[in-house]
Amino acid sequence: MQSRLKIYNSLSKVKENFEAINPPHVGMYVCGPTVYSDVHLGNVRTFLSFDIIYRYLMHLGFKVRYVRNITDVGHLTDDSDDGEDKIGKKARLENLEPMEIVQKYTNGFRKVMQQFNILEPSIEPSATGHILEQISLIEKLLENGLAYETGGSVYFDVNKYNEKHNYGKLSGRIIEDLIAGFRDLDGQDEKRNKADFALWKKAVKGHIMKWPSPWGIGFPGWHLECSVMSTKYLGDTFDIHGGGMDLKFPHHECEIAQCVGANGKDPVKYWIHTNMLTVNGQKMSKSLNNSFLPEELFSGNHSLLDQPYSPMTVRFFMLQSHYSSTLDFSNDALKAAAKGYKKLINGLSICHDLKYTSSEDETPSEQQQSQVDQIIANCYHAMNDDFNTARTIAQLFNLLKKINSISTGQLSGGQLGKEHFDKLIITFKTFVQDILGLLEEKPVDFESFLHILLEVYAEAKNNRQYDKVDEIRTRLKALGIVVKDMKDKIGWAYEE
Ligand code: AMP
Ligand code: ZN
């Protein structure tokens, strides 16, 4: 039996202690974006952290069903049970259909995920696609006496729930403190208790996103969608649920209460929360005006940025810290990350070219072999220790030292032996590309390269080095490029 504490701890000692409910299958649910605006870099950090977890579990041989939702209704501007729907508000301001807003920002979100090489989830369900299921869950809670209807809205009865269960066990909050801390907001007078939260809200005049329900026209509370979609696709109890730390309360606390209240089962075995990306120590957030968009980062076009930074530089920068620590954005740290990233990528290109060679009289060195074994084991220890990418990267630099030594001839392939040589190369490539998801970014485009080559061509022609001129022509032709040697300039065209 799992102890309660372990259930609500993050996932430590992954390889040794992680117990999937139905091995080798793992169900993982991550709260996705609310699609009413562009994702900022803080959001990216959270989705990147779960991308690493997804990739590493797959690397370990688990078959992961990764569900990451799209919140397209029910997230109110106040984050409590008050205010306007974030998407509805944007639609009203821009005079668009809410689903146009949803489509626009979902597309934008997916594009950013691709730019950072964050893998697509297995299922990407949306809240508006699951209204019926949400209504069913509310009905169950009403049946179980844990919810009440008032004036066309339905609220979860936290006090009632607390008679048998423990509201606050995830976030460590105590219900009396919660009640004392609540501000008076609209709708509070409908609630029996200030800590109660909305399952269904009656649509007031002018509210755009609304559906019929047994309680009249309205819309679901924000916490409901995740309870419904996680259990629909992963079962009443599933392995991993994640999101940013700011979602621990009230969002995830409410999710637990809804699931336990409806199904009688704890929905989640392991909760994982990522810490915040900060700017000068403050959470990066749109409302604080200290956030920047990925596009601003790639162009360097923002007052906080000294220069542009590429997606993989940013990816590397984020992986240099553990997901549960805060990470402060700084230009210096990003510049250092750019160097670190390039070192690893140079290592990859060495790996692509490096061939195993050994002279006949060479015998492998046990010391060298055990050093390689140790570094490889350290890479796994680091990832197994709650996905510690920071320590993993440090170990990859140790592997890289060995690779560089072979490349420069200080260490010979024969000193490692074929098996260890292969292990070294494969482990390095696998960790950099598949587990950390770092792609090689081409620093210059094709045209810039061609331009340089055509300058060399022109120079050779001026110096009457016709052999060289012919060779460049021939070799480019073989690649489908024709040199256009015109009177006053040299250009190129695709071979027709
Ligand atoms: P939202 O679309 O605002 O609900 O956020 C999507 C995800 O990004 C949630 O899991 C948030 O917790 C997370 N998030 C928001 N701001 C930050 C930040 N500054 N650093 C890390 N994660 C964040
Ligand atoms: Zn959620």
pLDDT band at 83 (very low <50, low <70, confident <90, very high): confident
Quote the pLDDT of residue 1. Answer: 35
Per-residue pLDDT tens digits for 35-73: 999 999 999 999 999 999 999 999 999 999 999 999 999
For the chain, state the CA radius of gyration: 28
| CB of residue 277 inside a 6 A radius of ligand 1 | yes
Within a 13 Å sphere around the CA of 310, how many CA atoms are in the beta-carbon half? 18
The pLDDT value recorded for residue 9 is 66
31 CA to middle of ligand 1, Å?
Answer: 9
Q: What is the pLDDT of residues 405-460, one digit of tens each?
A: 999 999 999 999 999 999 999 999 999 999 999 999 986 678 888 999 999 999 99
Mean pLDDT of 11-31: 89
- CB of 108 sitting under 6 A from ligand 1: no
Give the atom of ligand 1 at the shortest distance from the alpha carbon of 276.
20
**Confidence class of residue 182 from pLDDT cuts 50, 70 and 90?**
low
Is residue 189 very low, low, confident or very high in pLDDT (cuts 50, 70, 90)?
confident
Distance CA 452, CA 351 (A): 27
User: For residue 33, which ligand has an atom nearest its CA?
Assistant: 1
* 199-246 per-position pLDDT tens digit: 999 999 988 999 999 999 999 999 999 999 999 999 999 999 999 999
**Topology of domain 279-435, per CATH?**
Four Helix Bundle (Hemerythrin (Met), subunit A) (1.20.120)
pLDDT at 402 over 90: yes
Mutate to test the pocket of ligand 1, among 43, 71, 124 (most ligand atoms within 8 A of CB): 43
Query: Ligand 1 in contact with 45 (CB < 6 A)?
Result: yes
Q: What is the mean pLDDT of the chain?
A: 93
Q: Is 327 in the pocket of ligand 1 (CB under 6 A)?
A: no
| Tokens standing for residue 308 | 């542009």
**CATH of range 7-274; options 3.40.50.920, 3.40.50.620, 3.90.1720.10, 3.40.50.2000:** 3.40.50.620
Q: How many angstroms separate the alpha carbon of residue 279 from the centre of ligand 1? A: 14
Ligand 1 within 6 A of CB of 35: no
Q: What is the pLDDT of residues 98-135, one digit of tens each?
A: 999 999 999 999 999 999 999 999 999 999 999 999 99
What's residue 4's pLDDT? 52
**pTM score, two decimals?**
0.92
> pLDDT at residue 2 above 50?
no
